Structure 1
Amino acid sequence: MKPELASAADLTKIRSLLRTCELPEIDLDLGHMGDFLVLRAGGSLVGCVGLERAGDAGLLRSLAVAHERRSAGLGDVLMRAIEARAVAAGVHRLFLLTTTAPNFFASRGYRPCSRVDAPDAIRALTEFTSICPASAACMSRSLDRSISRQEQFHRPSTST
């Protein structure tokens, strides 16, 4: 299974997966799909992850894997792919907010940080300003340029 760039047709499916995984989706719109990756199995969307860019920083958001597909390494596949996409876009440091998975992210190199450590443009995103509670763990990771060579993405086929 290889990550694909999300299409406009994926928005409803991504929002549904995020709701099922109890992750915020209210702010997602078609404008976000250009920086979302998805995983499909048997025609179903089984995973997603997004990136919001702000200069040389980025917000990793909406990492979700369908419950029945967890513990198969799909979260890692999505993480590596979105990190590679971030590096290719000139992002040097990724931030994230999580209420449910700090251990998952810590085991993949993300470290706790204060929200004030995030650049102003990241703190201005809706994840920071209104969607994620103040109790959410803020974490960050510096990205290595070699990451961009590790993953390749492809455009989804036009048939659905």
Structure 2
Amino acid sequence: MLIFRRAKVEDFEKIKQIIKDCGLCDCDLERWLNNFMVAEEDGNVIGTGGIENYGEYGILCSVAVLPDFRNHGIGDGLVRSLINLADRMGIKTLFLFTDKAVNFFERVGFRKTNRSEIQENCPESKQLSSCPLSFIPMRLNINEFFENIKCK
């Protein structure tokens, strides 16, 4: 059975391994572990993602699903769980950087933006300073996300 839940301290090593295996930066995992979610199937953590929290602004980070579990909606479920978490945390705008998943994030509702907007609102972000300039910055207005959500 697949569940999405908040990460626990005992998930730390598995989260680190998934992030490493998927070739992503860990976005200061030790600092933000309390803001991470995991996808768990039959007791095994198979995906993860987190949020750097800067008040009304946040950065979605390290969204990763193990290769054997991709293309089954798990990444989508993780991102939507993280958007819900961001909303509960009072975040109004969520940013991210991606190099390969622009289309995926656009389907969720993210739109391309520029680094200067992220720099202005999240200047302490490790991701901002370490993400290659070739990565595309994106943003999501959380209120608009919930206004536009379509349930089937």
The answer to whether TM tops 0.5 is: yes
> Is 2:68 the counterpart of 1:68?
yes
Post-superposition offset of 1:25: 2.2
8 A Cα contact 2:95 2:118, kept in partner: yes
Post-superposition offset of 1:51: 0.6
CA distance in 2, matches of 1:138, 1:69: 26
1:85 match: secondary structure: helix
User: In angstroms, what is the RMSD of aligned CA positions?
Assistant: 1.8
CA gap of 1:146–1:91, structure 2 versus 1, over 3 A, is same
Larger RCO: 1 or 2 (CA < 8 Å, sep 6+):
1
> When the two structures are superposed, what TM-score results if normalisation uses the length of structure 1?
0.84
> Is 2:114 the counterpart of 1:83?
no
Post-superposition offset of 1:69: 0.6
CA gap of 1:100–1:142, structure 2 versus 1, over 3 A, is same
8 A Cα contact 2:5 2:37, kept in partner: yes
| Letter paired with 1:129 | S
Q: Look up the match of 1:25.
A: 26
Q: Look up the match of 2:114.
A: 114
2:29 match: secondary structure: coil
> When the two structures are superposed, what TM-score results if normalisation uses the length of structure 2?
0.89
Post-superposition offset of 1:54: 0.5
8 A Cα contact 1:51 1:82, kept in partner: yes
> Is 2:143 the counterpart of 1:144?
yes
Number of residue equivalences: 146
Q: Look up the match of 1:46.
A: 46
Identity within the alignment, %: 30
2:51 match: secondary structure: strand
Post-superposition offset of 1:119: 5.3
Q: Look up the match of 2:55.
A: 55
Query: Which runs of 5 or more residues in structure 2 are unaligned?
Result: none
CA distance in 1, matches of 2:5, 2:145: 20
Render the CA deviation track for 1:7-56: whole Å, top value 9, x for unaligned.
Answer: 11111100100111111127321x32210000111221101110111110
Post-superposition offset of 1:2: 2.2
| Letter paired with 1:137 | I
Query: Which runs of 5 or more residues in structure 1 are unaligned?
Result: 151-160
Please identify runs of 4+ aligned residues in structure 1 that moved more than 4 A.
none
